[in-house]
Copies of this chain bind each other. A is one copy, B any other.
Amino acid sequence: MDALKSAMAEAALAIEAELDRLIPRGDGHEKRVYDAMRYACLNGGKRLRPFLVLESAKLFDVPRPRALRAAAAIEFVHCYSLVHDDLPAMDDDDLRRGRPTTHKQFDEATAILAGDALLTLAFEVLAHSETHPDGGVRAELVAALASGAGATGMVGGQMFDLEAEQRGKSFSLVDITRLQSMKTGRLIAFACQAGAILGQATARARQALAAYAEDLGLAFQIADDLLDAEGTEAEVGKKVGKDAAAGKATFITHLGIDGARKRARTLALQAAKHLDLYGPKAQMLSNVALFVVERRA
């Protein structure tokens, strides 16, 4: 695990620099939105999704500068989703990674606009010729990210989740699995898929990565539910115990703490298994699956 941790730390630095480079600068009257974009993104996060892009890109020998652009694009989408989800009309969170949320640090209007701008920037970055010389590859990246992030993916998952909270619907395990697959799984799947798209990989190679991503995404979400149930605010860097307080059905409601932990570990092992065909090149991705279920934040 130490090799993984230092690889993730090294990648996180490179990603942070890439994000910083890609967010616009300027002294015009719109500067406040640039500042808010920067605040929302440059916070020393784990950069799990970008790391998945970089590692999946290595499987297909994708040049690093291209992989970094795709990694930045997905992180922009992830950060925008956090900014909007934290808004008072949504989850109403004041704290994120131990700092005030963007609307607390700036104001609600600026946070809405910064989120909109980060989402837009993600597509601008992918469509730019520096991301790949073949326009078809760039368009495929855009289509895949949009599909994962939009109404039938992440945004739909957030709507689904709000319906659960606000309308007191109680969900079965099948419902919760579908919700989480939309809300977090689809973007994790894109992160794993991006390297294969950039590397113009074969269908078989893509399928193995897709199967890995599906198990990984589910394991990740079960681990998230465990953190909310068991972690402390100091460890996790945001409010915990929210699901129970909101009376929300989660994986833990259905599986119990021990059952959930066991399921997450099984999924992580299963995820790693799909990568056998890549051999030792996929070692980091295999390790990520285990890391995701063992993490404390």
Contacts and interface: CB of A to CB of B under 8 A. Distances in A.
A121 interface: yes
A140 interface: yes
B146 A178 contact: no
A130 to B, nearest CB: 11
A26 B30 CA distance: 39
Contact of A160 (B28, B142, B182): B28
B29 A160 contact: yes
Contacts of A164: 29
Nearest to A150: B120
Contacts of A156: 28, 30, 33, 117
A135 B124 contact: no
A28 B175 CA distance: 10
Interface in A123-171: 123-124, 126-129, 134-140, 142-143, 146-147, 149-152, 155-160, 162-164, 166, 169, 171
A278 B80 CA distance: 42
Given A84-B112, A89-B108, A119-B119, A139 B127 contact: yes
A155 B117 contact: yes
Contacts of A90: 109, 112
A110 interface: yes
A107 interface: yes
Interface string A101-121: 000000111101101110111
B124 A155 contact: no
B151 A34 contact: yes
In this complex, the interface size class of chain A, counting residues with CB under 8 Å from chain B, is 35 or more
A96 interface: no
A280 interface: no
B89 A179 contact: no
A213 B107 CA distance: 34
Interface in A242-289: none
A232 to B, nearest CB: 28
A65 interface: no
A37 interface: yes
15 contacts: A29-B171, A30-B151, A30-B159, A84-B113, A89-B112, A90-B109, A116-B155, A117-B150, A120-B146, A120-B149, A123-B123, A124-B142, A124-B146, A127-B142, A139-B139
Interface of A: 23-24, 26, 28-30, 32-34, 37, 80, 84, 87, 89-90, 107-110, 112-113, 115-117, 119-121, 123-124, 126-129, 134-140, 142-143, 146-147, 149-152, 155-160, 162-164, 166, 169, 171, 175, 178-179, 182
